[in-house]
Amino acid sequence: MLLIEGRDTEPTGQAPTPRRPLHTHPAHAPTRPRMSIGTQSHPTDRPGPLAGVRALLRRLLPRDVRRSLARTGTRLTRVPPVGMVRFGSLRRLSPISADWGFDRGLPVDRHYIEEFLAAEAASIRGRVLEIDSNDYTRRFGGDQVEQSDVLHIAEMGPGVTLVGDLTNAPHLPSRAFDCIVVTQTLQLIHEVDAAVATIHRLLRPGGTALVTVPGMSPMTRDPEGSWGYHWGFTTLSARRLFERHFEGGAVQVEARGNVLTATAFLQGIAAGELRPEELAYRDPAFELLVTVRAVRAFAAPDGPEPDAQPLTEEGSAGR
């Protein structure tokens, strides 16, 4: 699967959902003096209590025996030791919930999505566009929202105001929205680059796109194979994708998750079954959910932006 950053969508190709400290660059990391075998130690260095035993074993035992003993010691000192892991309810070949945990409470990824949108609530204002429904617009935008629009790809439904495909929607108005909310959608769109270009075009200068994409997730697909996951994302791929289209603007990309929450989500264990500190911990090795906040740059002082088009609703009811 190509890695580049859904679930509650119809088979259409579109769906309706504390920063990590930067790692110190090796060039700026404090260094320690290296010590090779046979060199004189620093006067303040003191050998450990087992140093004499180790030295004696090195003289008396062949190298292959020493390595075998070292491997055995490593296995015994691991927590838990090899062969002693208790899988309990997780020893199964199908997830505890096949519905991402909705049948047990709030899914883990939705917990992270709502956490992200709550932190960015100030940006959900003015005219807001959301995919598939306006649930998050109303919940997190509240009275700041002057007009709420809902984009659906296939047909008009409750609350839907615009119909179109994010990858090819010339009829949708350019520079029309102060905020666009796109949760768990882009992984279902094969032409993801075109979709991000459309999101940028629809935003007013200074407008904000709030986007979430899965890093780790059970797959979503139509039984007939007509739609489903095309991409998985990382913070690196999401940043490159959005910076390419939001040149001159501001792009902030973060990830949420750790090995425990990733395991819980894949099993369909709900967020409420985990402790707050377990949900809050972020491990950069386990990017369960990737979030993007992308702000469109203001027009250049010497003229309008190249993709600026007259603001019009003409044809918005068609695909």
- Establish whether the linkage from the previous residue to 223 is cis, with ω within 30° of 0: no
User: Which DSSP symbol is given to 96?
Assistant: S
Residue 52: per-residue pLDDT: 77
The residues, ordered by sequence, that sit 6+ positions from 6 with a Cβ below 8 Å of its Cβ are 15, 184, 185, 187, 188, 214, 217, 220, 229
- At position 218, the amino acid (one-letter code) is P
Rounded Cα–Cα distance for residues 254 and 290 (Å): 6
pTM above 0.75, yes or no: no
Tally of structural domains, the chain: 1
Given a contact cutoff of 8 angstroms between Cβ atoms, the answer to whether 233 and 242 are in contact is no
Count of C-beta atoms within a 10 Å radius of residue 120: 17
Question: φ, ψ for residue 293 (rounded to 5)?
Answer: -120, 110
Give the pLDDT band (50/70/90) at residue 199: very high
Beta strands in the chain (DSSP E): 126-131, 145-152, 162-163, 177-183, 203-214, 250-256, 289-295
Is position 70 within any domain?
Answer: no
Residue 76: per-residue pLDDT: 62
- pLDDT reading at 233 higher than 80: yes
Is position 305 within any domain?
Answer: no
Is position 111 within any domain?
Answer: yes
Q: List, as one string, the DSSP characters of 144-204.
A: GEEEEEEEESS---TT--EE-BTTB-TTSPTT-EEEEEEES-GGG-S-HHHHHHHHHHHEE
Tell me whether residue 159 is exposed, middle or buried, using C-beta atoms within 10 angstroms of its C-beta: 0 to 12, 13 to 18, 19 or more: middle
Whose CA is closest to 119, among 208, 200, 5, 188? Answer: 208
Is position 52 within any domain?
Answer: no
Residue 280: per-residue pLDDT: 98
Rounded Cα–Cα distance for residues 118 and 142 (Å): 11
Residue 64: per-residue pLDDT: 86
Length of the chain: 319
Tell me whether residue 165 is exposed, middle or buried, using C-beta atoms within 10 angstroms of its C-beta: 0 to 12, 13 to 18, 19 or more: buried
- pLDDT reading at 281 higher than 80: yes
Is position 254 within any domain?
Answer: yes
- At position 214, the amino acid (one-letter code) is P
What's 117's domain CATH number? 3.40.50.150
pLDDT tens per residue across span 70-92: 777 766 666 788 888 899 999 99
More confident residue, 61 or 274: 274
Is position 138 within any domain?
Answer: yes
Residue 196: per-residue pLDDT: 97
Given a contact cutoff of 8 angstroms between Cβ atoms, the answer to whether 289 and 261 are in contact is no
Residue 206: per-residue pLDDT: 96
Residue 303: per-residue pLDDT: 47
Is position 318 within any domain?
Answer: no
Q: What is the CA radius of gyration of the chain?
A: 26
- pLDDT reading at 243 higher than 80: yes
* Parent domain of 217: 97-295
Give the pLDDT band (50/70/90) at residue 23: very low
pLDDT tens per residue across span 145-193: 999 999 998 877 778 999 999 999 999 999 999 999 999 999 999 999 9
Is position 1 within any domain?
Answer: no
Give the pLDDT band (50/70/90) at residue 53: confident
With left for phi above 0 and alpha for psi between -120 and 50, is residue 100 left, alpha or beta?
left
